[in-house]
Chains A and B, each alone.
Chain A
Amino acid sequence: MKHLTEEDLVLLYYSEPEAPAHGQLHLRDCPECRGAAESLALTLNVCSEWVVPEPDAELGRSVWAQIAPQLEVQGGSHAKRHWARHLWGRPRPWLWVAPALLALLLGTFYLGRVSKRVESPVMAGLSNAARQRILAISLADHLDRAEMLLTEISNAGDSGAADISSARYRAQDMVDEGRLMRQSLAEQGDTATLALVDEVERFLLEMANSPDNANAAEVQSIRQRIDSGSLLFKVRIIESNLRTEGQKS
């Protein structure tokens, strides 16, 4: 008599359609397999005893309180709290300030184009120089995040294949963010920075469209992209310049 395998027993336990058709009959007639099935069931039934603590009745409200401010900068920085905690050891809430200000700035530019009568009361009092400083800081933060992503990819998976899913999601977020930056730079005619942000965006797009688990050749190709154009180096230089520019009073 051919006994049931452990896989057969798992499929039978979960009543999967793939479970062997003769399985139940076999269990009835074979004490050995029946014993194995009972042992498996005992363990899995113990797992079922694991009860999830009942979430707070106000969970919806508290979740909303946490996410509502971040919905305003949709497409902006999504340096997620847990990613941030993982990467930098502690959250950096100030990272949200620059993208939020940038969104406000861009909104003002847009409204200014659409209607001369509509002007943001917050930005209305700012000089052109102040607006440029805000843009410079926002860009520096954007490039800072790009730099970290590039560094992470450069150092990932030395042995070959690598899981780049988290980098992929962050790249997608940054693509959206970069579009706002490019729009603003184009309006200001800053072609040098615009060229770099374009280059970064092309890289981010490639990352965002990569598979979660890149094989060794794909990881190598991404690294070569970073190295061949000295992308990381250029990002560091421009970011540093922007930071200095943004700090000028």
Chain B
Amino acid sequence: MTTEQPRFVILLAEDEPADAHLVKAALAENEIPADLHHVVDGREAFEFLRRQGPRFANAPRPNLILLDLNMPRMDGRECLAALKQDATLRDIPVVILTTSEVERDVVASYHLGAAGYITKSADMLQYLAAIRGLGHYWIGLVRLPHQSQ
């Protein structure tokens, strides 16, 4: 899958395989040109970002991180806080993708430095539209810094 232009890389941290699959399916159905990498919790996200262990030795640096809030071991809140503390990782935009509609979670997420907050909809059409919007915004519209590697 080598192309001239580096592909847009998304890291998805999501513990529920069914939800992870939905994101993958929505990206594919919206034909969003992005590589999706999937980790199951915050700890694994950091292993990915720091290329720890044989599994992540060649992991690319993502252009965008999609973060679920409720995960085992290190949850989305802890992960987001840790990302924003890390000088080498804090410039990667993080969008929260969660079932939680609790206002407190929304406020806390932006406070911690989230770039966006998307509520997973049970309505498949709405869900697809949300992922489509996400793709257009981050890949088509916004200019992100060039990757240093």
Partners in one complex: no
Which B positions have Cβ atoms within 8 angstroms of A? none
Which A positions have Cβ atoms within 8 angstroms of B? none
